[in-house]
Amino acid sequence: MSAPTELIGILSETGKVPKRRLPDLDGEAFVELYRDMVRIRVFDKRMLALQRQGRIGFYGPVKGQEATIVACARAVGSTDWIVPALREGAIAMMRGLPLEFAVAQLIGNDMDLCKGRQMPCHYTWSKGRYVAMSSVIGTQITHATGLAMAAKYSERDEVVLGFLGDGATSSNDFHSGLNFAAVYSAPVVFVCQNNQWSISVPFSQQTATETVAVKAKAYGMPARRVDGNDVLAVLDVVGRAVGRARGGDGPTLVEAVTYRQLGHSSSDDPTRYRDDAEVKAWLARDPIARYRKFLDVEGLWDDERDTEFVDEVDGEISRVVREAEAAPPLDPRTLTSDVFARTDPRLEEHFREEHP
């Protein structure tokens, strides 16, 4: 087990990988990792544009963190659970959430599976075992632990991926969740996307420790610290942690060191608290551009295929946006459906009067 301060990486800055470190994947699998990341980025760009046009109210961009998201999604099985933080919504889509439902959730109309009750980007997809996220910092950590403990007690072959950001390591749930998970040897992998900023609070002010990974030592669980902009390294590290959990050896804390290239959300202006030089330095380590170099070196991708694929994804998103925007508003009666066994008669009367 590596020391929790060592940063594990596979991809070089030039896209080269030592043969002994090359994952056991075929050419199509390598390409699909790239397609997954590009799909996320194109969707991200389009949804942020919709917000700026006033067609949706809020959006949380993930630009710069695509490698960790994709690798984690590919590291687990279909029966495993995803308990997200804020920037893992693409995993729901990778696990089958139709794009039109994702866009409708941002709008909050009749097609929205959440019936307008959740904040935008807070998808839920029970068929894909993707639990709705919470904007409350850290609460999902204990949920992930509880879900994993239930799986263990029920003797189900399930592993839970519980996500958190660097800011969530300062929450009470971080201590409670990791402590319980370690004590009860729960089959959970905690993935901290350390993107250096908790809204406007830098990592240097979040903790006095050098890394997030080192905190695992206090709870008696192993930790790995991985280059979160290296999709192959994250796939390897998280895959091993998932295998360990599935084998009955308990939880692991994975710190994926990455960077949030844009604001915390569409409501945030990062230029007010971030230095341009810092942003430029991280842009040079962009996970998609870096992985594209690897594909080029291996002869698996080229500019023509890239252009065709981006156009294909962009066209698909345009289609689903049209479909989602054409859906009618929510029926006001959904305000109480799935909430009360029997709706208050006064509300029923109001619904009849307002919407006969």
Query: Could you read off the pLDDT of 313-349 as tens digits, one per residue?
Result: 999 999 999 999 999 999 888 888 888 888 888 988 8
pLDDT surpasses 60 at 228:
yes
Say if residues 189 and 219 touch (Cβ distance below 8 Å).
no
Name the H helices within 171-275: 172-183, 231-246
Question: What is the residue extent of each domain of the chain?
Answer: 7-325, 331-356
Q: What is the pLDDT of residues 303-319, one digit of tens each?
A: 999 999 999 999 999 99
Q: What is the pLDDT of residues 268-287, one digit of tens each?
A: 999 999 999 999 999 999 99
Percent of the chain past pLDDT 70, that is, above it, reads 99
pLDDT, average across residues 131-152 = 95
Say if residues 91 and 82 touch (Cβ distance below 8 Å).
yes
pLDDT surpasses 70 at 248:
yes
- Give the SS3 label for residue 77: coil
Q: What is the pLDDT of residues 50-60, one digit of tens each?
A: 999 999 999 99
Widest CA span in the chain: 71
pLDDT, average across residues 155-180 = 97
pLDDT surpasses 60 at 49:
yes
pLDDT, average across residues 187-197 = 98
pLDDT surpasses 70 at 209:
yes
Q: What burial letters (b/e) apply to 19-51, b meaning 16+ CB within 10 Å?
A: eeeeeeeeeeebbebbbbbbbbbbbbebbbebb
The confidence band for 195, taking pLDDT boundaries of 50, 70 and 90, is: very high
Adjacent-strand bridge partners of 165: 193
**Residues annotated as catalytic (active site), given as ranges:** 260, 264, 273
The confidence band for 134, taking pLDDT boundaries of 50, 70 and 90, is: confident
pLDDT surpasses 90 at 5:
no
What pLDDT score does 103 carry? Answer: 97
The confidence band for 2, taking pLDDT boundaries of 50, 70 and 90, is: low
- Cα dihedral 252/245/149/144 (nearest 10): 50
Which amino acid is located at 109 in the chain? Answer: N
Say if residues 73 and 95 touch (Cβ distance below 8 Å).
yes
* Superfamily name with CATH number, domain 7-325: Thiamin diphosphate (ThDP)-binding fold, Pyr/PP domains (3.40.50.970)
- Give the SS3 label for residue 110: coil
Mean pLDDT of the chain: 95
pLDDT surpasses 70 at 252:
yes
The confidence band for 4, taking pLDDT boundaries of 50, 70 and 90, is: low
Say if residues 294 and 29 touch (Cβ distance below 8 Å).
no
Question: Of 296, 325, 320, 311, whose CA–CA distance to 42 is shortest?
Answer: 311
Calpha distance 134→132 (Å, rounded): 7
What pLDDT score does 38 carry? Answer: 98
What pLDDT score does 354 carry? Answer: 78
Calpha distance 60→261 (Å, rounded): 12
Q: For residue 342, which phi and psi values (nearest 5 degrees)?
A: -140, 120
pLDDT surpasses 80 at 10:
yes
